[in-house]
Amino acid sequence: MSNDRENKLQELRQRMQKSSTDNRAAVHDEHNTSKNQVRVAHKLEKKEKLADAIQEKKRVVEEGEDVERSKNMDYSIEDNENWEKKLKQKARNARFEFDDAEQVSQRRYKKDLAYIKPNMATYNKQKEQALGLPPGTITDDSSNADKSSTVDLYREADSLIYADHKPTDEDLDKLTNKVNDDIHRRKNFSRKRPEKEEDKTYINDRNKVFNNKINRYFNQYTKEIRESFERGTAL
């Protein structure tokens, strides 16, 4: 009787091992099939786009049109403006010389000037009040003679009048928002991006990259097993 039980137990073990091996092979084949299908679909999409581009180029050449001009016709005015803006920004950021504190301060000053634009209407109104002129005398379209008469507005070095300018509430709010925005940017700026709050499953950066590659392919199959281990219900 004991021999029969041992034989049955051995047979069950072999069947379990064979079933486990077959399941792993099936999962591996299914994964390869899905991965190959994605690759094939991606290749077909690239070939279709290339064929359409070649066909369109052939049509343009046969009709005697300019190829580049025909290609640019597909872009809207907004797309063209965004592209030119991106190129200008890229050219400004392409700085290969060493920067010092003076250059950094100069760039910062220009950036702040672009953000805080002067209110010419308020400025002209203040000049009229300082010179005793009737309202509306000084405008942006005033002549040079009218503008030259405002020299007295700027005081001499020995003047004792100071601190008589009172900014509006709107200007104060704008300045406050600018300062708060600078503080927020300076606080969150970091060359090294902060990592997400998650469990550490690696011992160094190289091991982290390796684990990410493994999870990319097998995470969907091992997720249930890992959750069972965490719950303590794994067999």
- How would you classify residue 136: left for phi > 0, otherwise alpha for psi between -120 and 50, otherwise beta? left
Q: % helix / strand / coil in the chain, to the nearest 5? A: 70, 0, 30
Please give the Cα distance from 21 to 35 (Å, whole number).
21
pTM (2 decimals)?
Answer: 0.33
Report the pLDDT value the prediction gives residue 97, as an integer from 0 to 100. Answer: 54
Report how far residue 200's alpha carbon sits from residue 208's, in angstroms, rounded to the nearest whole number.
9
Burial class of 152 by CB neighbour count within 10 A (0 to 12, 13 to 18, 19+): exposed
From first to last of its 235 residues, the chain has per-residue pLDDT tens of: 567 778 888 888 888 888 888 888 888 788 777 777 778 788 888 888 888 878 877 887 777 777 677 676 677 778 878 888 888 877 776 655 556 678 778 878 887 877 777 778 888 887 777 777 788 777 765 555 454 445 556 666 676 767 667 777 888 888 898 889 888 888 877 655 556 666 777 888 889 889 888 888 888 888 888 788 777 765 5
Q: Confirm if 34 and 228 have CB atoms less than 8 A apart.
A: no
- Distance from C-alpha of 215 to C-alpha of 224, rounded to nearest angstrom: 13
Q: Is the backbone of residue 73 left (phi > 0), alpha (psi -120 to 50) or beta?
A: alpha
Structure tokens at 131: 């010179």
Per-residue pLDDT at 145:
47
